[in-house]
């Protein structure tokens, strides 16, 4: 997806931390196509299939000799991806129902790996069979929320059907940005001007402008955070169509967009993040080996930074919030321990509304229930800190207490290194205070 604000993964995490509990819903392509069609926007005809036989029937019903089969996975780069079945590419041109069935058998219930899925890939549970359109030109069009202008911005380019971020990096002048005053809306004149700038002429110009207006109306009506069309095309018979679409929706609007949020597919999400959401926890999985459990986004980011300062890598961002219960703390530990890559964990709590004795009880319950094998460094400060320390001291569980954050971070990095080394040689290291 084209980003107005280039950022590192760390910068993106900071944004996520500041905007707690904001999880932007993404939906599958075939669902996006349905939303577009309902809004009067032209899309290729298509049917979704969950089995190879359904793919065969879908291709047969479309009745065309030129079709496209697309893996329905919430990740970009599908066309250049590969499946664990050995199939190369998640978007394929097909010419018969039999070919649809054959390729579907190599996509459905197999993992697709792309540059956006990570090393674990994503399970493909459905395929989308659509009619193939022959196009004269391909364009890029998106509507995003822009922090700089505090409102929607239209982003467009005459270079569509390719990686738009590469276009933006190599040829910034090819990107057109049109901020929209959310109080006034997108005018017909502005839409027509944008269509002309992209190179649409004649009836296609008017149809493109009408498509832009309908997309903007849909963007507002559905509380979207993004609508990305890539490519937007002019077909050989001069129709303007949306060939591929990605939607994002603001979770804060879930109470009034129940129809949209019913489209959510949790199988495409990190199961740890799904579990965290159930318990009202803020969790983002990372690639390091040191689990973190902290209250407050700012403190969580500081904790991660100081771990990195001492040469470690955080395995997650996990903010339990300011009023978590002992049960929530326990569930947070379950999420951390479900990551097989975690070799040590650091708990850093500054009790204000959050009481240290509640946190301590949650830690004790989790360690006993999970029979936690990894070393655990705990720093407690603030409300009821003495009560919390007493609970831990009397619990009999093996914990490394530390009042100084810098020393706690240094210690957890060293413990992680020792545990990781032991794991590599197949030795279980049980560490405790001398």
Which of these is catalytic: 29, 54, 207, 228? 228
61 is catalytic: no
Is residue 182 within 8 Å of residue 152, measured between CB atoms?
yes
Q: Which residue has the higher pLDDT, 251 or 414?
A: 414
Q: Which residue has the higher pLDDT, 25 or 405?
A: 405
- CA distance readout (Å), 279 to 18, 71, 334: 19, 31, 11
Closest CA to 330 of 371, 379, 364, 306: 364
Task: Mean pLDDT check: name the lowest of 65-69, 81-85, 122-126, 362-366.
Answer: 362-366
Task: Mean pLDDT check: name the lowest of 60-64, 211-215, 262-266, 286-290.
Answer: 262-266
- CA distance readout (Å), 40 to 210, 213, 263: 10, 11, 20
> So what's the pLDDT on residue 16?
41
5 — pLDDT class (breaks 50, 70, 90)? very low
Is residue 294 within 8 Å of residue 320, measured between CB atoms?
yes
Q: State in Å, rounded, how far the first CA of the chain is from the last one.
A: 52
Task: Mean pLDDT check: name the lowest of 110-114, 239-243, 289-293, 352-356.
Answer: 352-356
Local structure of residue 79 (DSSP, 8 states): G
Please write the tens of the pLDDT for every residue from 341-378. Answer: 899 999 999 988 788 999 899 889 888 888 888 899 99
14 — pLDDT class (breaks 50, 70, 90)? very low
Local structure of residue 24 (DSSP, 8 states): -
> So what's the pLDDT on residue 104?
98
> So what's the pLDDT on residue 137?
94
Closest CA to 130 of 29, 225, 24, 46: 46
> So what's the pLDDT on residue 10?
42
Tokens matching residue 339: 């990551």
Has residue 21 got a pLDDT over 80?
Answer: no
Residue with tokens 């004269």: 136
Local structure of residue 53 (DSSP, 8 states): H
Closest CA to 417 of 283, 288, 285, 284: 288
Please write the tens of the pLDDT for every residue from 144-177. Answer: 999 888 899 999 999 998 888 888 889 999 999 9
Is residue 108 within 8 Å of residue 137, measured between CB atoms?
no
> So what's the pLDDT on residue 8?
36
Please write the tens of the pLDDT for every residue from 198-212. Answer: 999 999 999 999 999
Which of these is catalytic: 56, 140, 216, 283? 140
Please write the tens of the pLDDT for every residue from 38-53. Answer: 999 999 999 999 999 9
Residue with tokens 């961002």: 317
- CA distance readout (Å), 1 to 81, 218, 268, 289: 16, 19, 17, 29
SS3 132: coil
283 is catalytic: no
> So what's the pLDDT on residue 7?
37
Average pLDDT score over the chain: 89
């Amino acid at each position: 997806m084209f980003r107005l604000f280039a950022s590192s993964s760390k910068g993106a995490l900071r944004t996520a931390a500041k905007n707690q509990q904001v999880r932007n819903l993404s939906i599958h392509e075939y669902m996006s196509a349905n939303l577009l069609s309902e809004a009067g926007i032209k899309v290729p005809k298509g049917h979704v299939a969950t089995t190879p036989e359904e793919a065969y029937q879908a291709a047969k019903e479309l009745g065309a000799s030129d079709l496209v089969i697309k893996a329905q996975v919430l990740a970009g780069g599908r066309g250049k991806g590969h499946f664990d079945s050995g199939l190369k590419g998640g978007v394929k041109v097909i010419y018969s129902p039999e070919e649809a069935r054959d390729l579907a058998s190599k996509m459905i219930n197999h993992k697709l790996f792309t540059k956006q899925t990570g090393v674990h890939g994503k399970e493909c549970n459905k395929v989308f069979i659509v009619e193939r359109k022959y196009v004269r030109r391909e364009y890029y069009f998106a509507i995003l929320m822009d922090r700089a202008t505090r409102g929607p911005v239209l982003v467009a380019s005459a270079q569509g059907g390719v990686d738009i971020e590469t276009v933006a990096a190599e040829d910034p002048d090819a990107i057109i940005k049109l901020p929209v005053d959310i109080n006034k809306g997108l005018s017909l004149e502005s839409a027509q001007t944008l269509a002309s700038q992209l190179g649409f002429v004649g009836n296609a110009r008017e149809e493109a402008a009408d498509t832009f207006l309908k997309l903007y109306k849909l963007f507002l009506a559905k509380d979207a955070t993004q609508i990305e069309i890539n490519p937007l095309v002019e077909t050989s018979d001069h129709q303007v169509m949306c060939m591929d679409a990605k939607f994002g929706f603001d979770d804060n609007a879930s109470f009034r967009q129940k129809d949209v949020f019913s489209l959510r597919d949790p199988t495409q999400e990190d199961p740890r993040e799904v579990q965290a959401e159930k318990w009202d926890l803020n969790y983002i999985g990372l690639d390091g080996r040191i689990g973190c459990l902290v209250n407050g986004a700012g403190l969580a980011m500081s904790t991660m930074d100081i771990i990195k300062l001492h040469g470690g890598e955080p395995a997650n961002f996990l903010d339990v919030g300011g009023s978590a219960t002992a049960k929530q703390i326990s569930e947070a530990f379950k999420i951390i321990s479900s990551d097989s890559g975690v070799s040590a964990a650091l708990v850093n709590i500054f009790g204000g509304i959050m009481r240290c004795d509640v946190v301590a009880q949650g830690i004790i319950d989790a360690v006993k229930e999970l029979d936690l094998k990894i070393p655990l460094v705990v720093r407690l400060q603030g409300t009821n800190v003495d009560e919390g320390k007493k609970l831990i001291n009397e619990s009999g569980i093996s914990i490394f207490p530390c009042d100084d954050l810098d020393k706690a971070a240094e210690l957890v990095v060293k413990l992680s290194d020792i545990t990781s080394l032991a794991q590599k040689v197949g030795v279980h290291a049980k560490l405790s205070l001398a």
